[in-house]
Amino acid sequence: MHIPDGFLDGSVAAAMAVPAVAAVGYGVHRAGRTLDDSKIPLLGVTAAFIFAAQMLNFPVAGGTSGHLMGGALAAVLLGPWLACIVMAVVVAGQAFVFADGGITALGANIFNMGVVGALGVGLTMLLARRILPANRTVFLSVAGAGAWASVMLGALLASAQLGASGTVPFATVLPAMLGVHVLIGIGEAVITVAALSAVLATRPDLIDGAGFGPISTTPLTPAAEVAS
Site for other proteins in 114-143 (CB under 8 A): none
Pick 89 or 133: Cβ nearer other proteins: 89
Pick 15 or 173: Cβ nearer other proteins: 173
CB atoms < 10 A from the CB of 220, how many?
16
Pick 18 or 224: Cβ nearer other proteins: 224
Contact between 62 and other proteins per CB under 8 A: no
Cα dihedral value 167, 188, 79, 32, nearest 10: -50
CA 16, 21, 24, 30 torsion: positive or negative?
negative
Instruction: In angstroms, give the least distance from the CB of 135 to other proteins.
Output: 19
**Segments of 41-125 assigned E as strands:** 57-59, 65-67
CB atoms < 10 A from the CB of 97, how many?
9
Rounded Cα distance between 32 and 25, Å, is 11
Contact between 95 and other proteins per CB under 8 A: yes
Pick 55 or 131: Cβ nearer other proteins: 55
Q: Which stretch binds other proteins (CB under 8 A): 15-23, 97-105, 114-122, 130-138?
A: 97-105
Residue 66's SS3 state is: strand
Contact between 59 and other proteins per CB under 8 A: yes
Contact between 99 and other proteins per CB under 8 A: yes
Contact between 20 and other proteins per CB under 8 A: no
